[in-house]
Amino acid sequence: MRVRIVAALGLTAAALLALPACSGNSTGAKPATPSSARSGKPAHAGHDAPLSSAALKTRLLDESDLGSGYARTPKRPTQHDDVSVLGCPALNALGGDAAMGGSLNFSHKAKATFTYTASSNSEISEELYSDTAGKLSTGTGRIFDAMTGCPQYQVLVGSTKADVTTQKMIAPQLGDERWSQLLTFSSDGRDTVVKQTAIRNGGVLVIVSGSPALVDQHLDEALAKAAATR
């Protein structure tokens, strides 16, 4: 099964992380720890200034960065099916319908998805966001805390049901803050495993999702290109 099932269920980084990042803390999700406490590094104003969406687009990985065997995946139409989350009150309280929104609620964004044809048509997706460091920290932390706080739950997208299991992972010591998780989606007797790692570097957030091996392989270069001084 291709990683594409995740997009259909609204559970990629671009989907679950579309849940309202700036709403109040009455949802039950644990607030994010400030970056200085989570990473042990103070925030530096010099690299916290938000970048425009146009600037972020130039910092996305492309085929020349990834190497042979990768092809850019055309943008998929936005899904509008009703979404319900069962067995995870924190995620359900954040709003299932918002999970199909397509991107985080940050000021500037860019995204690219690639198919790796050399390995069973696996996919890897990169998303870049830019906002104030505080907004990136709080918004991303709340969603990851809610998702990893529920080891098992179900998602209903229209008439499609998937069982989801989550596992919090240790992210590489990169950037100012980092989050990582492993998600397994089970539907129609088939499983899809997706790794999702987010790194905040000042006012830029890098999220790489997809086949675990591909995420591990390309995370460093994604961050390096996103954080490059131009």
pTM: 0.77
Residue 78 has a pLDDT of 58
Residue 65: alpha-carbon gap to chain centroid: 20
37 neighbors 217 (Cβ within 8 angstroms): no
- C-alpha torsion sign, points 124, 103, 6, 25: positive
The more confident residue out of 2 and 52 is: 52
Is pLDDT at 24 greater than 50 in this prediction? no
Q: Is 66 helix (H, G, I), strand (E, B) or coil?
A: helix
For 54-97, write each residue's pLDDT tens digit: 999 999 999 999 998 999 988 766 555 567 788 888 877 765 43
What would the pLDDT profile of 147-183 be if each residue is shown by its tens digit?
A: 888 899 888 777 778 888 999 999 999 999 999 999 8
Question: Which pLDDT score is estimated for 86?
Answer: 85
State the Cα–Cα distance between residues 15 and 101, nearest whole angstrom. 6
pLDDT tops 60 at residue 133 = yes
Tokens 């709403």 locate to: 23
Order of strands, sheet of 122-130, starting from the edge strand that comes earlier in the sequence: 70-72, 108-116, 122-130, 204-210, 190-201, 177-187, 160-168, 152-157, 83-86
- The predicted structure's pLDDT at residue 2: 34
- In the chain, what are the domains? 4-38+49-226 (3.40.1000.70)
What pLDDT was estimated at residue 98?
A: 36
